[in-house]
Structure 1
Amino acid sequence: MIARALLAALLLCWPFAAAADVAVPPLSGRVVDQTGTLSASDAAALTQRLKDLETRKGSQVAVLIVPTTQPETIEQFSIRVAEAWKIGRKKIDDGALLVVAKNDHKLRIEVGYGLEGALTDVTARRIIDEIIAPQFKTGDFTGGISAGVDRIIRIIDGEPLPAPKPEVSHSVDPDMAFNIIFSPFGFIGFLAIAGISRGLFGRLLGSGVTAGVIGAVFWFLLGSIAVSVGFSIFAFILTLFGDAIMAASQAASRNAGRGGSGWSTGSSGSSWSSGSSSGSSDSGFSGGGGSFGGGGASGSW
């Protein structure tokens, strides 16, 4: 476990051979299914319900099902899609997006600024945990998506969720914790802690302080002493010798550049070749210019 975690952190910190991000699919309708999960009739029924919502309330909701979002997290991919599709009315920002990454077993509800008061982060998380994920776990993707969309529509219509059941856990989700830790923000946070500690306490003592802070963060988020100790050691070494490692890396890059060798990675964005997408009968649909700020929730099954 510790070895795998250390390897993941090392790969994060070593900026070589970056993989291309998955391309944002075109907005071909309110329901875009790149996996063939939904039948044509199910996609059409879902599309009609979303059309009715827009006619009645003006709000726009879209569903996207993809095989994977790798190498990005579903949070990074979903906000890129939301920003590209611009679901919701301009300056009202009343859009919502349900993204399902089927092979990754991840999903997310992305919420526009204008809906954050009704479809809060907590509400979105409950919809995922209590309504969608349980059906996904049984293999009923159509039922889970339909029930989740129905609940989102009812929330937009002003119907609150019932009181949460006592047994529902709101503890830290290990998957979410790892997404936070191994995100660009997590890495930037580590660099800030290391820089401040070394500046205040010197190289050796500052490395120890950084190791203690990183260990405490991992213990709080993951609840594992073994993992926190492992990452404390890694943080100590990286803080102590990080500048030397980066200098050696830069020197190697300059030498490689003088040698004239290199490799081409092709296009900057990869895409899936999955044939037609569900929702083609809704091809006239387009986003209304809505804006998103990262509100919503993620989950897994």
Structure 2
Amino acid sequence: MPLALIHKALTAILFIAIALPWAHADGSLQPVPALTSPVIDQTGTLSAADKATLETQLHTLEQTRGAQVVVLMVPTTVPEDIASFANRVGNAWKIGRRDVGDGVLVIVAKNDRKMRIEVAKALEGAIPDIAAARIIDGAMKPRFQQNDYAGGLGTAITQLSARIAGEALPAPASSGNNTTHSPNSSRDGFDWTDLAVFLFFGVIVAGPLARSIFGSRLGGLLMGGGVGFLAFVVTSSLIVAGGAGLLALLYTWIFGGSGGSSSPQRGRGGAAAGGWGAGAGGGWSGGGSNSDSGGFSSGGGGDFGGGGASGDW
């Protein structure tokens, strides 16, 4: 009997020892921290001066190249491995510009003695996995082994910035030559959005007037022809001119009203203008929400598919 009891006790102890780690692994994952700064240190390792120096490097990179690199130091990523944790954080933060996706995440799990460079898909050509591994082994690992975390991170950022600088990325919006890369601008700096707004509201005002003076059919033809001619003069594009003229013709025929173009017609045009303006306003606010909060924020574009490399020290 005593042997049987001892056997049962040992079995129970062994079961508990095996079950406890799995119970932790089945628990909640490490939360994704709030993105409040380009350098987030949850371990208290970096001094204020170290953090300021690294942030200056990262701000300079973003201002000159547009790409976003964020550094995150955590005590541990358990129960996840660092690659899974980095991918989850990267896709939650979506660092990098919305229309470009040029983001990089550098994660250090200090207690695990693990680090990873997670690269968004748009930069996997500039920073392939083998290059990320070389930066980890050559820049970070030897300095981390000497407890020089700020030096390792600073050197890694320098090397990442050099590789990003060699990539053909769109210029940042603040560089002064953003008209070249703006999707709403032509090569000579003309703003297509301004033309669309001008023609839209011009047709709303002039369409009912032309229809009331010349009649439905002739008024529509005159509006379509006039708008098409104006669009061609400004853009020198037959496609744009034809599309603008056709839209003006259809609008005048369908929404231009009849006869005196009285208040019901103006009300209908006003409703169309109100709906379009609301849509435009929503688009602008969504696009600007990443930069008007007063502090550091995500560009909203990085798509992280697992590119990058991990290492330890």
TM range (shorter): 0.5 to 0.7
Q: What CA distance in whole angstroms lies between the structure 1 residues aligned with 2:127 and 2:25?
A: 39
Q: What CA distance in whole angstroms lies between the structure 2 residues aligned with 1:118 and 1:140?
A: 27
Report if aligned partners of 1:30, 1:62 keep a CA contact under 8 Å in 2: yes
TM score, norm. by length of structure 1: 0.53
* Residue 87 (structure 1) shift: 0.6
Match in the other structure for 1:140 = 148
Alignment of 1:129-208 (within 5 A): 129-158=137-166
Residue 296 of structure 2: which of 279, 285, 290 is its match? 285
Matched, 1:296 2:313: no
Match in the other structure for 2:188 = none
Q: What CA distance in whole angstroms lies between the structure 1 residues aligned with 2:54 and 2:80?
A: 28
> What letter matches 1:288 in structure 2?
G
Q: What CA distance in whole angstroms lies between the structure 2 residues aligned with 1:298 and 1:115?
A: 17
* Residue 19 (structure 1) shift: 2.4
Match in the other structure for 1:117 = 125
Q: What CA distance in whole angstroms lies between the structure 2 residues aligned with 1:24 and 1:108?
A: 16
> What letter matches 2:296 in structure 1?
F
Structure 1 residues 67, 288: closer, same or farther in 2, change over 3 A? same
* Residue 60 (structure 1) shift: 0.4
Larger Rg belongs to: 2
Total equivalences in the alignment: 171
Higher relative contact order (CA 8 A, sep 6+): 1
Structure 1 residues 20, 149: closer, same or farther in 2, change over 3 A? same
Unaligned runs of 5+ in 2: 1-14, 168-292
Structure 1 residues 17, 118: closer, same or farther in 2, change over 3 A? closer
Q: SS in structure 2 opposite 1:293?
A: coil
Matched, 1:104 2:109: no
Match in the other structure for 1:226 = none
Q: SS in structure 2 opposite 1:75?
A: helix
Match in the other structure for 1:47 = 55
Higher helix share: 2
Structure 1 residues 110, 50: closer, same or farther in 2, change over 3 A? same
Of all paired residues, the percent bearing the same amino acid is: 51
Match in the other structure for 1:232 = none
Q: What CA distance in whole angstroms lies between the structure 1 residues aligned with 2:309 and 2:115?
A: 9
Unaligned runs of 5+ in 1: 1-6, 160-281
Structure 1 residues 38, 117: closer, same or farther in 2, change over 3 A? same
Matched, 1:21 2:29: yes
Q: Deviations over 1:149-196 (max 9, x none)?
A: 11111111129xxxxxxxxxxxxxxxxxxxxxxxxxxxxxxxxxxxxx
Report if aligned partners of 1:118, 1:155 keep a CA contact under 8 Å in 2: yes
Report if aligned partners of 1:28, 1:283 keep a CA contact under 8 Å in 2: no
